[in-house]
Amino acid sequence: MSAGTESLFQSLTISDTTATNGAQSFNGLVLGNVTYGNRNKQSSDRAAKACRDELFLTDPKVVRDSVINSKGERAEGTCKWITRDAAYRKWLGNVVDEDSRLLWISGGPGKGKTMLSVFLTEELEKHTNKREDVDIIFFFCDAQDEKRNTALVVLRGIIYQILEKRPQLSKHAVPSFGSSKKPEKTHQTLTSLEALWLIFKRLIADEEFGTFLCVLDGLDECVKDGRKFLLRKLTALLTTSNEHNSIGDFRLAIVSRDDLDLQAWPRIRLDTEHQENIHRDIKTLVTARTRELYPIEGFQKIKRSVRKKLLDLADGTFLWVGFAMLELQQKITCTEILEALDEMPSGLTAIYNRMLLQIPHNKRTVSRKILQWVTCAVRPLNMKELAAAIEIQAVSTDMTILEATRDAIRLCGALLKVEDQQITLVHQSARDYLLRNETDSDAVLEVFRLDLRKAHWEMAKKCLDCVSRSVLKYREVKLNAETQRGESALLRYSMMFWPEHARGCDSLAEGLLQTVGLPLRKAPSWRNRWWNSYQKGWWNRKDPPPLLHMACFLGIKPWVNVILAQENWKRGLEERDDEEATALHWAAYHGNVEIVRLLLEAGADIEAETEDNGTALHIAAHEDHEDVVRLLLEEGASRCIEVEDCGHKTALDVAIFEGSVASVRLLIEEGAEVKDDQLFFPGCWRNEEIAQLLLEHGADVNAENSDGDSVLQDAVFYSKTNKEFLKLLMDQGADVEAEGSDGWTPLHYAVSGGNVVAVRLLLAKDVDIEAKTDEERTPLFLAILEDKRKIARMLIDQGASIDALKDKGRSSTAYKRCLELLD
């Protein structure tokens, strides 16, 4: 966060250009320098790669392989039925309309959805390999993996894959990322759903986007709030059909449980209309898996009855078959197999009950702790971390702690799986089972039922205790380093994720600050070392913040309550950090509307300014926290709606710069002044919704900058400018023939900037294709001079005269190039 807005806007990157605030070029306010040809190509390529590297979290193919390794290979012949389904074939067809761009494949727990997704991705890879400009991307969500369980990481994964397959589209993402010296901008982009959505929206609108088939597996496993945002945006985008919101050919198949709000879309229901197909696939799976029992003497005689029993008990779930086979594989006689089948319960809940009831009485406490940590951890724990978390001790000097931990994990049966030393639940249904709300009538099973708030409280307490006892008393800790001798294996997890557990335990967090969190209050040096370790790499601040600022930033509302209840609470409200920001500024940055409300009710100064003259309204608008902007305006921030920071920007200016649509709308409704020069801000060029709002409230579509160039002339020069913004300007009456500095028309600017989309739009408006600059240069002359061959070809095809290129000094070479293009 920047305390004000000037430090946020000291530089701005447009396409491949970075410049300081206010820089000018020959074609108007461009906030950057203009370069031609390939002078900056290497720099541009490096920036594009750096951008993709920042977006990267997981390799989709590696994740798919891990899914296959975890769940086992798909039984030959299963899943193929979907290729004959009418809804699927329509989704995959050569012509697709807005009603079939999204396909929802839904089913209950254990219905084989993830293996169906694996099959689909493999089939679609074969399909796309035969077609040019058609690609497959996919993402497997997992509630237990922080890199795969939020809408934020899903969007990052989709954008990353698109840019890997269409690197030329990186121009739409690079401006949203900072340099290694300014990591705050990158961090802001990577943690903002709105920022990532704007990038995705620009990618999909590019004419070079082509066709992408996207499979999203397990979207229901993502955190609900972000998931709702992503679904709302995706469904709105995919239903778009009007001319002002054209999109590329993006087709999305979502595979999930039944609890997503997608009822209006074509749907393949695994639980109902495809019961017969699922039953056949389970039968195929049972036949394949029971072959593993052939070596048992006499099994051939009982295989039919075993298969029938398994099929009857499976209750239509592949997962149950997997659990049953794990048990049968331990048997060595046919009698044992038949007895086990007679005792085996039907359905997932019953089999989970059975697993827990089999845990010995004296091992239930440690087993419950293991299940709690594995279920509620922010990311999967490794063996050493889990051992430290539940304080496992070896019962003998002949046994290591890791061996003792492995034995303890085995007691939980098939509920857990261990891969690459990481422990996770076997399936999302196991997590649902352990976190069920209904009280269990069986006292033993009730012991294992987890209360999520209490679980987070116990884990936050353990993490804070671990951190408070660590070497942070003496030095900082590098979070990405290996565990050092004498350090707890849980230390780095604890340092990174105790705030998340503290937020998760809600009001219970209040007691943490009074007990294990006491060093945060009483030991500023300890707190500062933790903070410096925690934020290193994405937040370049000189000094750690005061405790109240930190609590606001971390979003721990009960701690804010505790601090405000102290005798010196007013001092905390007025205290400033090293950039003169108050706690209210930090809360506005974080976007927690309840904490902002608490501070305002306690008397926080809503008009307080940072050293850069930024108010809380500036910061909330910059981050596009719609609810916070609304609350601030309701509570009196309208008094400072025209306050300018040291960069001479109002809150509305800031919101427009950043493309914060919701904030722009709220500020305009509150009476913020709309000015013509705001149409020149990059946020408008990236998001036509903002431009539409400005035009509706009085901005002049033909406004000129200090050089006399119009918005359209500036906008068409940049190849990254949103196509819809250009169309909006033209449809709203922008002068497509206006002459700017040196007699350049919008077509000259579009040609010189290499903006193929803009050239096409202008030609569709029948602009003068032979218009000449003050130096007698036509658009075709510029295209040849600057080696824009594709554009030159377009101009010639539209009737541009090559005769005007003859006998004009260097232009004889241009004439020859035109002849080459014609050939």
Q: Is the pLDDT of residue 451 over 80?
A: yes
pLDDT at residue 11 greater than cutoff 50: no
Tokens encoding 811: 């232009």
Tell me if the pTM is above 0.75: yes
Q: How many CB atoms are located within 10 Å of the residue 628 CB?
A: 27
Q: Of 8-22, 108-122, 403-417, which range is least confident?
A: 8-22
Quick one: average pLDDT of 741-762? 90
Q: How many other C-beta atoms can be found within 10 angstroms of the C-beta atom of residue 756?
A: 17
Q: Which residue has the higher pLDDT, 514 or 726?
A: 726
Ordered alpha helix ranges (H), 687-822: 688-696, 711-717, 723-731, 746-752, 756-764, 779-785, 789-797, 811-822
Average pLDDT, the chain: 86
Q: Are 175 and 11 in contact (CB under 8 A)?
A: no
Provide the pLDDT for residue 426: 92
H or E element, residue 416: strand 416-419
User: In this predicted structure, what is the pLDDT of residue 818?
Assistant: 63
pLDDT tens track for 579-591? 899 999 999 998 8
Tell me: domain 74-269, CATH 3.90.226.10, correct?
no
Rounded CA gap, 719 and 726, in Å? 11
Tell me what pLDDT residue 226 has.
87
Beta strands in 169-271 (DSSP E): 211-217, 249-256, 267-269
Sheet strands (E) in 68-209: 102-106, 134-140
Note the pLDDT of residue 782: 87
Question: By the 8 A CB rule, do 520 and 547 touch?
Answer: yes
Residue spans of beta strands (DSSP E) within 461-561? none
Instruction: Compute the distance between CA of residue 524 and CA of residue 543 in angstroms, rounded to an integer.
Output: 11
Residue 137: per-residue pLDDT: 97
- The per-residue pLDDT for 429 is 93
Answer yes or no: is pLDDT of 1 > 60: no
Query: Which DSSP string corresponds to 806-817?
Result: TTSTTHHHHHHH
pLDDT at residue 342, as a whole number: 93
Consecutive H or E run containing 233: helix 224-238
Q: How high is the pLDDT of residue 333?
A: 95
Q: The domain 353-450 is classified under which CATH number: 2.40.30, 1.10.3470, 1.10.10, 1.10.1740?
A: 1.10.10
663 confidence band (pLDDT: 50, 70, 90): very high
Q: Give yes or no for residue 25 having a pLDDT over 50.
A: no
Q: For residue 33, what pLDDT band results from cuts at 50, 70 and 90? A: very low
Q: Does the pLDDT at position 29 exceed 60?
A: no
Q: Which residues contact 121 (CB under 8 A, 6 or more apart)?
A: 64, 136, 138, 215
Question: What are 786-793's contacts with CB under 8 Å, separation 24+?
Answer: 786/36, 786/37, 786/751, 786/752, 786/754, 787/37, 788/751, 788/752, 788/754, 789/821, 790/756, 791/751, 791/754, 791/756, 791/759, 792/817, 792/818, 792/821, 793/821
* Between residues 597 and 624, the one the model is more confident about: 597
State the average pLDDT over residues 229-233. 91
Q: What is the pLDDT of residue 582?
A: 94
Q: How much is the pLDDT for 378? A: 93
- Give just the sign of the alpha carbon dihedral 78, 84, 90, 94: positive
Residue 649 to residue 658: CA distance in whole angstroms? 12
pLDDT of residue 538: 55
Q: Which amino acid is at 262?
A: L
- At residue 20, the pLDDT reads 37
Q: What is the 3-state secondary structure (H, E, C) of 330-371?
A: CCCCHHHHHHHHHHCCCCHHHHHHHHHHCCCHHHHHHHHHHH
More confident residue, 375 or 802: 375
pLDDT of residue 381: 96
Given a cut of 50, is residue 488 above it in pLDDT? yes
Asked if the model's pLDDT at residue 110 lies above 70, the reply is yes
Residue whose pair of structure tokens reads 């409200």 in the numeric block: 573
pLDDT at residue 96 in the model? 67
CA 40 to chain centre: 30
Span 483-695: which CATH code? 1.25.40.20
Is 15 a residue whose pLDDT tops 50?
no
Structure confidence by residue, pLDDT tens digits, 687-728: 888 999 999 999 999 998 888 889 999 889 876 777 888 999
CB 208 within 8 A of CB 757: no
The string of pLDDT tens digits covering residues 425-448 is 999 999 999 999 999 999 999 999
Per-residue pLDDT, 806: 61
Q: Are strands 422-425 and 381-382 parallel, antiparallel or unpaired?
A: antiparallel
Checking if the pLDDT of 595 tops 50, the result is yes
Would the pLDDT of 184 be above 80? no
What band does 131 get if pLDDT is binned at 50, 70 and 90? Answer: confident
Q: What is the mean pLDDT of residues 1-28?
A: 36
Residue 138 has φ and ψ, to the nearest 5°, of -155, 160
Q: What is the pLDDT of residue 450?
A: 97
In the predicted model, what is the mean pLDDT of residues 265-281? 92
Residue 356 has pLDDT above 90, yes or no: yes
- What is the average pLDDT across 518-545? 76
pLDDT at 249 over 80: yes
pLDDT on residue 38: 44
pLDDT band at 599 (very low <50, low <70, confident <90, very high): very high
Q: Do domains 483-695 and 707-822 have the same CATH topology?
A: yes
Q: What percent of the chain has pLDDT over 90?
A: 55
The third-level CATH classification (topology) of the domain covering 707-822 is 1.25.40
pLDDT score at 823: 58
Does pLDDT of 412 surpass 90? yes
Structure-token match 């951890």, residue found: 377
Task: Return d(Cα 716, Cα 756) in angstroms, integer.
Answer: 9
Average pLDDT over residues 310-328: 92
Count Cβ atoms within 10 A of the Cβ of residue 73 and give its class: 0-12 exposed, 13-18 middle, 19 or more buried: exposed
pLDDT at residue 820, rounded to an integer = 67
pLDDT at 541: 62
Q: How far apart are CA 364 and CA 345, in angstroms?
A: 22
Does the pLDDT at position 3 exceed 60?
Answer: no
pLDDT at 35 over 70: no
Domain boundaries, the chain: 74-269, 275-346, 353-450, 483-695, 707-822
Label the pairing between strands 416-419 and 422-425: antiparallel
pLDDT category at 30 given cuts 50, 70, 90 is very low
